[in-house]
């Protein structure tokens, strides 16, 4: 099956299993990721965990704050696509992370 990221967004939201383990952070930002050099994006989209590691900020509904639309709810898009951090770039439709994300968010496999 082929997956359409533009109607999905499951990997752009904290996973239920992650939340169940008490982790309120999702995508980790790596030191070389350019988003860390953009002060405007840094202020809005980056939050540090108690160990000082930067992550993308999540909206109260658990989705990445940069995600436009609702996971699995039709059209979605990344609002910071060209500055998205490296972990976002690594996930590929149909790979293990993708399938786990889709499954946990109740989307078709």
By the criterion CB under 6 A, which residues form the site for ligand SF4? Answer: 3, 5, 8-12, 27, 56, 64, 66-67, 78, 80, 84, 88, 91, 93, 98, 101-102
Rg, the chain, Cα only: 13
The secondary structure of 29-74 as a DSSP string is: PPTT-GGGG-HHHHHHHEEE-TTS-EEEPBPTTSBBTTEES-TTSS
Give 10 or 54: the residue with its C-beta nearer to ligand SF4.
10
Give CA separation, 20 vs 15, 17, 88, 104, in Å.
9, 5, 22, 12
- Smallest gap from Cβ 96 to ligand SF4, in A, equals 10
- Smallest gap from Cβ 62 to ligand SF4, in A, equals 11
CB of 14 to ligand SF4, least distance (A): 10
Nearer to ligand SF4, 20 or 69 (CB): 69
Write down the least CB distance from residue 91 to ligand SF4, Å. Answer: 5
Given a contact cutoff of 8 angstroms between Cβ atoms, the answer to whether 85 and 33 are in contact is yes
Whose Cβ is closer to ligand SF4: residue 54's or residue 64's?
A: 64
Tell me if 98 sits within 8 A of 12, measured CB to CB. Answer: no
């Amino acid at each position: 099956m082929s997956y359409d990221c533009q109607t999905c967004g499951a990997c752009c939201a904290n996973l239920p299993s992650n939340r169940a383990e008490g982790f309120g952070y999702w995508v980790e930002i790596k030191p070389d990721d350019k988003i860390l050099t953009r002060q405007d994006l840094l202020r809005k989209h980056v939050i540090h965990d108690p160990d000082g590691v930067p992550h993308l900020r999540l909206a109260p509904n658990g989705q990445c704050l940069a995600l436009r639309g609702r996971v699995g709810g039709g059209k979605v898009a990344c609002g910071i696509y060209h500055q998205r951090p490296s972990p976002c770039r690594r996930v590929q439709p149909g790979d293990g992370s993708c399938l786990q994300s889709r499954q946990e968010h109740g989307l078709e496999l």
